[in-house]
Structure 1
């Protein structure tokens, strides 16, 4: 192998390492995007939760999980009631339960660590239940959404692309 080939291989390895690191870190850049308007200082507003990557023409929007250690689930694979709750969240309410929208403190420590007030919780109605049931959606101010079918014993990040 020539010296030039060694350089090309080294460059390719470095690029692969950088791409893997960027994927693993996701959007942990300390973005100053306003979670309500989606605006960045001096930037144009985008709805909260809108993927910020630039997709190829005709490609699905770019979405990276907030934490690769948390399993994900397609939005369309959730119960219909979860879709209703996601619609209410996108519209800003009104919510059917007084507790919807309150701060979720992440006491279980299963979601990525953030300051208090970063996460909020919403009820997903359970047919036949005479109370709020165990199903919840938890949102983060950077737009991420998490599904819990078992009252915070486990979480899956909701993939909005599918």
Structure 2
């Protein structure tokens, strides 16, 4: 399990921007459900929306660095009290699916992303 707090991402003094223009955000500053989703990815589920979780993310808006189709996969981050998938997602980049090279978080349904840092086992 990962350690986390519930401080909002904007309060993090560790936030930086990658060379691709995507800001970074420590896992500990994100909603606790993000860490739960990261844990589920590492164990290949179970996922709350199995028909949608783990599918290829197309990056059509181009908010993430350009990669070949199939590089990115998306996972639902449950929102307490929501009756549907809501707007929060983790998008992973790279293989294997259970240990991807990158984790991105969006809380606004793909309008913006941050590269998640502080994930155990991640370089």
Q: Give the structure-2-normalised TM-score.
A: 0.74
Match in the other structure for 1:157: 115
Q: CA deviation at 1:94?
A: 1.7
Moved >6 Å (runs of 4+): none
Q: For the Cα contact (< 8 Å) 1:66–1:144, is it kept in 2? A: no
Match in the other structure for 1:58: none
Structure number, greater radius of gyration: 1
Match in the other structure for 1:132: 85
Q: Is 1:80 paired with 2:38? A: no
Structure 1 stretches of 5 or more lacking a match?
1-64
Listed as ranges, the matches of 1:1-162 within 5 Å are: 67-97=19-49, 98-141=51-94, 143-160=101-118
Q: Give the structure-1-normalised TM-score.
A: 0.57
How many residues end up aligned between the 2 structures? 98
- For 2:86 and 2:68, locate their aligned partners in 1 and report how far apart those are by CA, in whole Å: 27
Three-state SS of the structure 2 residue aligned to 1:86 is: helix
**Root-mean-square deviation (Å):** 1.8
Structure 2 stretches of 5 or more lacking a match?
1-16, 95-99
Answer 1 or 2: higher relative contact order, Cα 8 Å, separation at least 6: 2
Q: For the Cα contact (< 8 Å) 2:20–2:65, is it kept in 1? A: no
- For 2:114 and 2:44, locate their aligned partners in 1 and report how far apart those are by CA, in whole Å: 22
What are the superposed Cα offsets for residues 73-121 of structure 1, whole Å, 9 maximum, x if unpaired?
0011111111110000011112110200000000010100011100000
What are the superposed Cα offsets for residues 118-158 of structure 1, whole Å, 9 maximum, x if unpaired?
00000000011110000000000151000000000000000
Distance 1:157 1:149, change over 3 A: same
